[in-house]
Amino acid sequence: MKIVCQNRKAYHDYHIQETYEAGISLLGTEVKSLREGKANLKDSYVGFKKNEAFLINCHIGHYSHANTMNHEPLRTRKLLLHRKEIDRLRGKTAEKGFTLIPLKIYFKGSLAKLEIGLAKGKRLFEKREAIKEREARREIERGRQGSTEVMKLRKHVVAPSPRKKAETYTSANNELALAA
């Protein structure tokens, strides 16, 4: 399975409830462009027209070796799903807050597939909480890695003796006593 492109922002902006795999009806130059990795899922979504599912606003760049018979980059592409899946997804998106977004385009054998997710939008405070949790996990990982490095450094560094600390305190007290 060769992944062509992913919609990383989708996991930041949405809670993904379910995922589905759909085929994409493409032209020849579109397939060749996908093999070159020229695709972008940003701002794209899945819509329904006459009991059929379509990928809307997905950008697949021009094929570099094509002549004037190249495809339109932002054209609407038909998704290949079973009737029961389309009906189920249409019913779910009719509920408040749910939408269908593309998550990634990949090749399964010689066929181009699209992974779509049934998603519910995150609120701003949920996005902030997710960022805080991610940063906390990173700090813990850094702490684990850093602790082994600190242990190595502690073996090589000699700590000052307790007498020197006591002597500095007594000399500081004596200077205070002389000044008064």
The pLDDT tens digits for 62-120 are 888 877 778 888 889 899 999 999 999 998 888 888 889 999 999 998 899 999 999 88
If asked whether residues 75 and 143 sit together in one domain, one would say no
Domain containing 147 equals 126-179
Bin 97: left if φ > 0, else alpha if -120 < ψ < 50, else beta: left
The DSSP H or E segment spanning 156 is: helix 124-156
If asked whether residues 83 and 138 sit together in one domain, one would say no
If asked whether residues 95 and 157 sit together in one domain, one would say no
If asked whether residues 90 and 168 sit together in one domain, one would say no
Q: Is the entire prediction scored with pTM above 0.85? A: no
User: Where is the domain boundary, 76, 95, 122?
Assistant: 122
If asked whether residues 117 and 168 sit together in one domain, one would say no
If asked whether residues 80 and 108 sit together in one domain, one would say yes
If asked whether residues 118 and 132 sit together in one domain, one would say no
If asked whether residues 74 and 155 sit together in one domain, one would say no
If asked whether residues 102 and 15 sit together in one domain, one would say yes
* pLDDT tens by residue, 22-74: 999 888 888 888 888 888 888 888 999 988 999 999 888 888 887 777 888 88
Q: Is 16 strand, coil or helix?
A: strand
Q: What is the CATH number of the domain that holds 12?
A: 2.40.280.10
Is 178 or 37 the better-scoring residue by pLDDT? 37
Check residue 95 and report its DSSP letter: S
Question: Which two tokens mark 114?
Answer: 């699209």
The number of domains in the chain is 2
Q: Which amino acid is at 50?
A: K
Question: Any idea which residue has 């082994």 for tokens?
Answer: 148
If asked whether residues 104 and 33 sit together in one domain, one would say yes
**Closest residue by Cα to residue 76 from 53, 105, 108:** 53
Could you give the CA distance from residue 94 to residue 100 in angstroms, rounded to a whole number? 11
The DSSP H or E segment spanning 73 is: none
If asked whether residues 144 and 88 sit together in one domain, one would say no
User: Where is the domain boundary, 106, 122, 138?
Assistant: 122
Length of the chain: 180
If asked whether residues 27 and 48 sit together in one domain, one would say yes
